[in-house]
């Protein structure tokens, strides 16, 4: 008898964004012609910048001639791209990462989801609440949790991120083996200083634990003092893996490219306590289950690091951050507390005790504006909503005018 992986039955029945889509579609059907402004799902809205399109075209043109055609490429990514990444994203910030520690992939969702495969089932996993749901759900699928009760999976160590702790997870009281961190954070938009990250690196070293650091939004960091990579922290090479994405950096949500950094110093342990190279394990996994990102996409990604690419992308990010400023000012003028929006495209708004779905419905029905109810990211998001800066300036301005009118 073919048996199902019963862990899947523990997963919450529906996905946050399909619930939102259902409510939005219903509202649209009942209010035909209404212009709904979507500041919910974190998807970019601006086209790829000209330098990236040029790189993309060059890659496609090379594929059109036998002499320059490429078939299967290196599973880890072309060296021309990994060299650019190592130089621009790490060495330029004093972080010692070499091209052969970089694994190019089709995005951070797959990598953050797949990476847990390398660990035993009975490890203790610490996950922030609220959280990007992929970390949690993939551990549920792998059987590292018990049932879902009272909005939480049994067996997971949840790290509450609340106003009291500046939306930063605190070091867990009990010993954990695997720690998920994400800065700038989705959904809260909070950031962590070098000193704050150092506490985690020290904790991981002391406890033979590993940090999975999701830096998908690092390009939104404006504050010069904030770290853009965990490898700016001394000792992180031994205890941290970093995930990056070109989705929010360069508008690649539909183009698909990201990468994972696994330093060669990173060790995990066998059941007998012997050291195992995480780099070798991920290399084995990646080369067995992944066949590389397409050549034109890697050429397009390489262009992200050209002079024109860098300046065009900087402008695009400034555009979204300007939208974020508009949202922050509106939220503030209405008397709501919030975090994020400064070094992040997300603004996490405290609904003053209002349930997050109730707040969502209010904005949808009174302002025709879509946000994301914080409850969908975990128990600690129950009284928050997330507003995203990914839309046109005109739509964001109009949405904020409507929100002001609806809530005044």
DSSP class per residue in 199-239:
HHHHHHHHHT-EEEEE-TTGGG---TTS-SSGGGSTTHHHH
Closest approach of Cβ 104 to ligand PLP, in Å? 12
Burial degree of 217 (CB within 10 A; 0-12, 13-18, 19+): buried
The distance of closest approach from Cβ of residue 202 to ligand PLP in the complex, given in angstroms and rounded to an integer, is 24
Binding site for ligand PLP (CB under 6 A): 42, 107-109, 112, 132, 182, 186, 214, 216, 245, 247, 253, 258
Residue closer to ligand PLP, measured from CB, 108 or 362: 108
- Residue pointed to by tokens 């940090």: 211
Query: Closest CB to ligand PLP among 90 and 183?
Result: 183
Kindly give, in sequence order, each residue whose CB lies less than 8 Å from that of residue 335, ignoring residues fewer than 6 positions away.
none
* 182/230 with CB nearer ligand PLP: 182
Do residues 297 and 59 touch, judged by C-beta distance below 8 A? Answer: yes
The residue among 42 and 351 lying less far from ligand PLP, judged by its C-beta, is 42
Report the nearest approach of ligand PLP to the CB of residue 108 (Å).
4
Residue 176 or 250: which CB sits closer to ligand PLP? Answer: 250
Give bridge partners of residue 369 from the DSSP assignment.
37
| Least distance from ligand PLP to the Cβ atom of residue 112, Å | 6
Task: Kindly tell me the sign of the dihedral angle through the C-alpha atoms of 78, 259, 199, 146.
Answer: negative
Q: Who contacts 340 (Cβ-Cβ below 8 Å, separation ≥6)?
A: 184, 185, 188, 189, 190, 324, 346, 347, 348
Q: Find the shortest distance in angstroms from Cβ 340 to ligand PLP.
A: 13
Q: Are strands 240-245 and 210-214 parallel, antiparallel or unpaired?
A: parallel
Question: Which residue's CB is nearer to ligand PLP, number 116 or number 247?
Answer: 247
> Smallest distance, Å, CB 61 to ligand PLP?
26
Q: Which two tokens stand for residue 31?
A: 């209010």
Q: Which residues contact 102 (CB under 8 A, 6 or more apart)?
A: 76, 77, 82, 85, 86, 259, 260, 261
């Amino acid at each position: 008898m073919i048996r199902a992986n019963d862990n899947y039955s523990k997963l919450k029945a529906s996905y946050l964004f399909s619930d939102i889509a259902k409510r939005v579609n219903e509202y649209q059907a009942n209010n035909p012609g209404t212009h709904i402004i979507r500041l919910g799902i974190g998807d970019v809205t601006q086209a790829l910048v000209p330098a990236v399109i040029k790189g993309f075209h060059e890659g496609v043109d090379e594929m059109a001639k036998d002499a320059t055609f490429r078939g299967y490429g290196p599973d880890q990514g072309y060296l021309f791209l990994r060299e650019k990444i190592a130089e621009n994203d790490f060495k330029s910030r004093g972080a010692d990462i070499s091209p052969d520690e970089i694994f190019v992939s089709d995005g951070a969702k797959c990598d953050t989801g797949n990476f847990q495969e390398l660990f035993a089932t009975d490890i203790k996993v610490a996950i922030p609440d609220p959280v990007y749901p992929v970390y949690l759900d993939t551990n549920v699928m792998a059987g590292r949790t018990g049932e879902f009760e009272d909005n939480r999976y049994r067996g997971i160590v949840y790290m509450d991120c609340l106003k009291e702790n500046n939306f930063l997870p605190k070091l867990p009281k009990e010993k954990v083996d695997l720690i998920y961190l994400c800065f700038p954070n989705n959904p809260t938009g909070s950031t962590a200083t070098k000193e704050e990250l150092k506490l985690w690196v020290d904790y991981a070293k002391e406890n033979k634990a590993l940090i999975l650091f999701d830096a998908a939004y690092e390009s939104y960091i404006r504050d010069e003092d904030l770290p853009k990579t965990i490898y700016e922290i001394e000792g992180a090479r031994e205890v941290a893996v970093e995930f990056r994405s070109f989705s929010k950096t360069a508008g690649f949500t539909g183009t698909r490219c990201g990468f994972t950094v696994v330093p060669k110093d990173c060790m995990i342990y066998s059941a007998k306590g012997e050291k195992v190279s995480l780099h070798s394990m991920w290399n084995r996994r990646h080369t067995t289950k992944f066949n590389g990102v397409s050549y034109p996409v890697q050429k397009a990604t390489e262009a992200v690091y050209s002079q024109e690419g860098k300046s065009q992308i900087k402008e695009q990010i400034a555009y979204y951050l300007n939208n974020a400023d508009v949202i922050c000012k509106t939220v503030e003028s209405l008397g709501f507390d919030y975090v994020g929006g400064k070094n992040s495209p997300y603004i996490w708004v405290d609904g003053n005790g209002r349930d997050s779905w109730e707040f969502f419905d209010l904005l949808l029905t009174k302002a025709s504006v879509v946000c994301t109810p914080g409850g969908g990211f975990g128990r600690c998001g129950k009284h928050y909503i997330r507003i995203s800066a990914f839309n046109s300036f005109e739509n964001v301005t109009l949405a904020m005018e409507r929100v002001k009118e609806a809530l005044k």
